[in-house]
Amino acid sequence: MSKRIALVTGANGGLGESMCKALHDQGRQVIGTYLPGQEEAATAWQQAMQEAGYTIEMRAVDVADFNDCQRLLTEIESEVGPIDVLVNNAGITRDAPLKKMAAEQWQAVIQTNLNSMFNMTQPIFAAMCERGFGRIVNISSLNGEKGQFGQANYSAAKAGIYGFTKAIAQEGARKGVTVNAVSPGYIDTPMVRQVPEKVLDSIVQGIPVGRLGQPEEIARAVAFLTADDAGFITGTNMSVNGGQYMA
């Protein structure tokens, strides 16, 4: 049996890299995506992964553009094979209090973090159902669960992922296609480490386990939900936040 093909958007970020590694270790043929215009960084990342023993192909796509997503997905199916596992991980932030938030900041985050769920999933969902197998994991956030000051756009987009996940989970349930969400808390990534030290210390103080999460801990949740024998888990959200928010 050939390897199942797994596609991870935003692969060369802190979380995306760990997800790619975990899926590779799971025996998947992994393809990652990066934002067009970042070819040099993507090539360097792919080479570093190769040196570490991970064969991960990188392809460019703008997840906020439906036509570009359709182009990518058609190319992968034609050149590599049908996608069995999809991890919708790509996302951005454009933080500002609502009274100072520009319409462009709102639209950019909604398009990249929420519209991308439709853009990447809709073109391949029917084919997954027809084949009788599919694993889709949508990456939400702690701040989609509880909200966050200065992130009305981000929190709204990440909260919207739950409704999308539950709706299409029902559509794929009898077809062997599971759809779940993972909501990371504060994870030890380069982006989080850019937060001022005093602010970061206060964040850690609010996490019951007393530390930031590790990217591998998010990747472990993704690997669990995408396993072949995870077919009875669908329409759910896995919160991986060190106890910071308990729903």
**Catalytic positions:** 154
Return all residues near 41 (Cβ < 8 A) that are at least 6 apart: 12, 34
Provide φ and ψ at 207, rounded to 5°: -100, 115
Residue type, 214: Q
Token digits for 204? 């850690």
Provide φ and ψ at 57, rounded to 5°: -80, 140
